[in-house]
Chain A
Amino acid sequence: DSGVTQTPKHLITATGQRVTLRCSPRSGDLSVYWYQQSLDQGLQFLIQYYNGEERAKGNILERFSAQQFPDLHSELNLSSLELGDSALYFCASSRGPSSTPLHFGNGTRLTVT
């Protein structure tokens, strides 16, 4: 058990809808990373937060947004969903702003129909 909790485990929704994925980092970790994993694109880095502040941005679409709250949990909001957004979304946490290793949750599997 990595100590990182992601909810929900599975999510099925329709195109055009909006969903929120939630992540609780490992106790004591201040950094949260979000990744999208699809079969054809591998593991894509979306965004990183450290202690509530955005730290680094990757290939995150404008339809997607995220935030990290004072209690350090994070949420990833996906809106105007498209079929191509179907993927596994992983959250990972680490102790510091650029420290590693990353501890991954078991992901949220999003299916857009």
Chain B
Amino acid sequence: SQQGEEDPQALSIQEGENATMNCSYKTSINNLQWYRQNSGRGLVHLILIRSNEREKHSGRLRVTLDTSKKSSSLLITASRAADTASYFCATCRDDKIIFGKGTRLHILP
């Protein structure tokens, strides 16, 4: 399976700190994406990084991709209470977009 696996499963940090989540996958991919899910609601796309890219930024988000290690990381800088959510990586190969089980991020006031 090419399913991504996020690490850690859960993360609690103080507001203002940076949060880092990792994703590992098993097979070659076309691109990798990160999504956010607030409790019980639909996932929201955050950022997409293509297999030939190594790093991408979007606002307070920074994503890296290491295809040799089949891994990606999502960094959220200067975290806010509103960042509390579950974060999923999704690997895209051909027409299948496969999600990992997610990292639950909790921002403490």
Contact = CB atoms under 8 A, between A and B. Distances in A.
Interface of A: 2, 4, 33, 35, 42-43, 45, 48, 50, 55-56, 58, 88, 90, 92, 97-98, 100-107, 109
Contacts of B42: 2, 4, 90, 92, 104-107
DSSP majority for the A interface?
Answer: strand
Contacts of A109: 40
Contact of B101 (A42, A88, A98): A42
DSSP majority for the B interface?
Answer: strand
A101 B33 CA distance: 8
Chain B, interface size category, equals 20 to 34
B102 A42 contact: yes
Nearest to B41: A106
